[in-house]
Amino acid sequence: MQLFQSSNSVFQATRKGLWKLHRLCVLAAITFAAPMHAAQADCGSFQLAFYELGALYFKTPQGGYAGIDKDVVDELSKRSGCQFQTVLESRVRIWHQMSQQTLDVTVSGIATPEREKFARFIPYFTTRNFLLLSSSAPARAHSPEGFLSEPNLRVAVVKSFRHGALYDTWLAKLREQNRVEEAADFDSVVRLFMAKRVDAFLALPTSLEPLRRKELANSFIVLDWAPSEEVRHGLVLSRNRVSLPAMELMRREIRNMHDDGTLEKIFARYVGAEQAKHLLLKTTE
């Protein structure tokens, strides 16, 4: 009988100990979870500007919008708790607003020393530009030097776009000869080409794929002048309007989206599985 009472006492003590341990574990979980929840709740609400460009952001037949940039922003908002009030703008107005610190966030931007004075960048895909040259252009124009040597040939670009070191240097030489037409958006660039006002224009694979599915595809050849030049595109955050903690939270979630395959799935949705692999960042640092 004494042995039974002793055993029962041990059992009661053990049960109380386990219950106390359980309560401590729950409290610890709440304690450690609280900062994460607070960080997400404190992320805030930001005005974000999209711009139309190929598979990155486009109007659907139903009247809404879709694309890589939209899906990335939607997923980022879901994961981080950050809220984005979105508007549609031209790329020229976007960069002006970012430089004047009147816009919080924009998408798929390229970092330059000038831009990094007023913005921080979180890359989420990498790619490079291709030159789309008129099929009727002389064969000599199939190289950068050859195009420069043909004084009647002109090229169109989107105003304020950056295209990578090789193309930007080449364009600077053409600008000195007044051979560059600048338009407000990519659709306007394509219209200049279709109207034969220019002989070439630059396009990313995300813009090139939709063009290949149109009748326009037979009017140009695709030249890859910078095969080793990869340009990183990313979320652009105002240095004055987006806090460092919010920026770091967004950076962490973009990295997680890369690591768990979410970004690749988004890319494949719009440009196919093969091209999606080429858009993936080699490193998220």
Residue 207's pLDDT band (cuts 50, 70, 90): confident
CA 126, 227, 218, 50: dihedral to nearest 10 degrees?
20
- Residue 148 confidence (pLDDT): 98
What is the tens place of the pLDDT at every residue in 30-61?
Answer: 334 433 433 445 689 999 999 998 899 999 99
- Residue 138 amino acid letter: P
- Residue 284 confidence (pLDDT): 67
What is the tens place of the pLDDT at every residue in 169-199?
Answer: 999 999 999 999 999 889 999 999 999 999 9
- Ordered alpha helix ranges (H), 42-141: 68-80, 91-99
User: Does an H or E element contain 169, and which?
Assistant: helix 165-176
Our CA angle for 175, 178, 183, nearest 5°, is 75
Q: Among 195, 197, 200, 148, which Cα is nearest to 176's?
A: 148
- Ordered alpha helix ranges (H), 81-124: 91-99
